Structure 1
């Protein structure tokens, strides 16, 4: 597998023909039940605006915050931040449609819409799904399992890689088993906090005393920096745990790693995964750390390419591809690192469906490597279609 950055070029050849022998039909699925619902809608707007309509047919399907699947309009401008507020599927759903139903028969890829009191209406067959959901009930293997049962190809990681990529504890365990460098952490499982909070609190304090305050208390299975607290001492532990548990009953506690935040994208090519140009996330003056507000509301700008030595660039790209392979990922990954004061890289986490708007770090890193956003979308669709036909 190569970690070399590709030279600019268009995707190779079209995928298989559509269900009717024409253009492949892409269902862009977005929204969802997680706290990252609005971020997913932002991503969907960008993807819908970038898909080549001369090459693909598109079917936008939104999942509301309460889990209802619905047809939505195909208007990327309505899927944008407005007055510091994130968009929602409920505002986009077509009021005259019922729930969208994916096929459960692997021999059929026909999507239907079920309206109360009426015969289900066929929407036609789907050749590939582009799921742009972030967080639980979408990025964690649940949607991927549904699509596997349906026999519908999809963009991105499979069931196992999606589940591992969502659970920070097991992600780190797999990285460690492959000899990849990770920072100190400990996990508080739901029953530990619910049945003996004093013991769980002591576990956090003992960890902090060993590795130093402050520590970061995070939901173990969430993203977009939601529910994360930087805790400077014992007095802040309970509030931080409760904030994390609003997003996930399982939490992870990580030590503060002093150094620079470096990110690198991985993309699946015909000959295997390759790493992008790396980027650096600078310190954000208005924020204590790179939190949700800094990422999505205040648009903190990363530095692309990261000011690294050639040796550092080669190392972080090598580690990024190794992380992709360790978790058996497919399609795309963003790998996040700390370049510590001793000059060593520590792998913090991977994201199997990273932020994917044109201004997000993942597309920006690939743009610097010579792949513009529409081509990036096309390459991901082509990779999914290749897997569907057994071509890799």
Structure 2
């Protein structure tokens, strides 16, 4: 099978996609598949970027590591590991996803979102408690996120987030102390998930920021472990699957959750393009459950082919 791994792009996450592409190529080789890296450069003419994407149409399946390509791949009729354009857009927009969580009655801290100039006023009217996290609404890997403990820091934090996205989200912190968990999901012919992984941060990290995720030190000091609590696992899995169902994600997703000192479960975010790098939590948690990286890739490829069959049968349209 010929697999196109699409990496690069124009956001701050571009460099991280190359590490994911390398690990996917290794897993594909173990399965006997041929992998091509389709690199989409940030600079250059749009026609050059489109020419690069057209190479994906020459493959049996594509794995996009860049958000926003789902519609293009649907148009090209290429099976791809990812969610439909609508579901991917909902998952990528932290504000819209939060709205769904609240409407469904799932645990969620208070939040507001809007354009950079207006979101400060929205926060003031909402009378939200500090500390808060200020985030670009549509960017992952914790880029552009600030933890704010005093009101006078908010303007700078909003400006920092707005450098990445004109839509900015301000979200209360989960009551401390809390513990962070992640649940990986592969949704195809059936839903395959692994028991939650508990995120243990490097000692110097206050929260799961970009440095704690991607620094060389993080690779040796940040750990993922099993909870060892069957009842907690069950509640976390239930919340994660409900969140994934709300967003309508497919093929691969990772749900981030938090549990406070009283056992209250809060849904953080959902990632419909989870990282596949050496130190990425999605594959590492599956590995803890006995799923090798080649087996994970095998399941993701099968899910991509399954969803293309549904589309061709007229079961749904993007």
> TM-score surpassing 0.5?
yes
Deviation string 1:260-287 (CA, Å, 9 cap, x unpaired) is: 11111111253x2132121112243322
Which residue pairs with 1:162 in the alignment? 88
1:151: Cα distance to partner?
Answer: 1.1
Which residue pairs with 2:194 in the alignment? 276
Which residue pairs with 2:51 in the alignment? 100
1:98: Cα distance to partner?
Answer: 9.7
Question: What is the aligned length?
Answer: 307
In the alignment, structure 1 residue 62 sits paired with structure 2 residue 39 = yes
| Structure 1 segment 342-357 matched on structure 2, within 5 A | 342-357=262-277
C-alpha change, 1:245 and 1:67, in structure 2 (3 Å) is farther
Q: Can you give the 5+ residue segments of structure 2 that lack an aligned partner in the other structure? A: none
Contact 2:158–2:168 (Cα < 8 Å) also in 1: yes
In the alignment, structure 1 residue 229 sits paired with structure 2 residue 146 = yes
Which residue pairs with 1:244 in the alignment? 161
Q: Secondary structure of the residue that 1:303 maps to in structure 2?
A: strand
1:52: Cα distance to partner?
Answer: 3.1
Contact 2:188–2:302 (Cα < 8 Å) also in 1: no
In the alignment, structure 1 residue 266 sits paired with structure 2 residue 185 = yes
1:153: Cα distance to partner?
Answer: 1.1
Contact 1:29–1:60 (Cα < 8 Å) also in 2: yes
RMSD: 2.4
1:382 and 1:223 map into 2 onto residues whose CA distance is 26
1:41 and 1:128 map into 2 onto residues whose CA distance is 18
1:267 and 1:332 map into 2 onto residues whose CA distance is 4
Question: Which structure is larger by alpha-carbon Rg, 1 or 2?
Answer: 1
| Structure 1 segment 314-333 matched on structure 2, within 5 A | 314-333=234-253
Which residue pairs with 1:131 in the alignment? 64
1:54 and 1:322 map into 2 onto residues whose CA distance is 32
Q: Secondary structure of the residue that 1:160 maps to in structure 2?
A: helix
Q: 2:213 aligns with which of 295, 298, 301?
A: 295
Contact 1:61–1:69 (Cα < 8 Å) also in 2: no
Deviation string 1:50-109 (CA, Å, 9 cap, x unpaired) is: 113664232211011226689xxxxxxxxxxxxxxxxxxxxxxxxxx9973445xxxxxx
C-alpha change, 1:41 and 1:29, in structure 2 (3 Å) is same
State TM-score, norm by structure 2. Answer: 0.89
Contact 1:277–1:304 (Cα < 8 Å) also in 2: no
1:181: Cα distance to partner?
Answer: 1.7
State TM-score, norm by structure 1. Answer: 0.73
1:125: Cα distance to partner?
Answer: 2.4
C-alpha change, 1:67 and 1:357, in structure 2 (3 Å) is farther
Contact 2:38–2:53 (Cα < 8 Å) also in 1: no
Q: Secondary structure of the residue that 1:288 maps to in structure 2?
A: coil
2:275 and 2:31 map into 1 onto residues whose CA distance is 26
Which residue pairs with 2:113 in the alignment? 187
1:357: Cα distance to partner?
Answer: 1.5
Contact 2:202–2:222 (Cα < 8 Å) also in 1: no
In the alignment, structure 1 residue 144 sits paired with structure 2 residue 70 = yes
C-alpha change, 1:320 and 1:237, in structure 2 (3 Å) is same
1:175: Cα distance to partner?
Answer: 1.9
1:131 and 1:232 map into 2 onto residues whose CA distance is 37
C-alpha change, 1:68 and 1:356, in structure 2 (3 Å) is farther
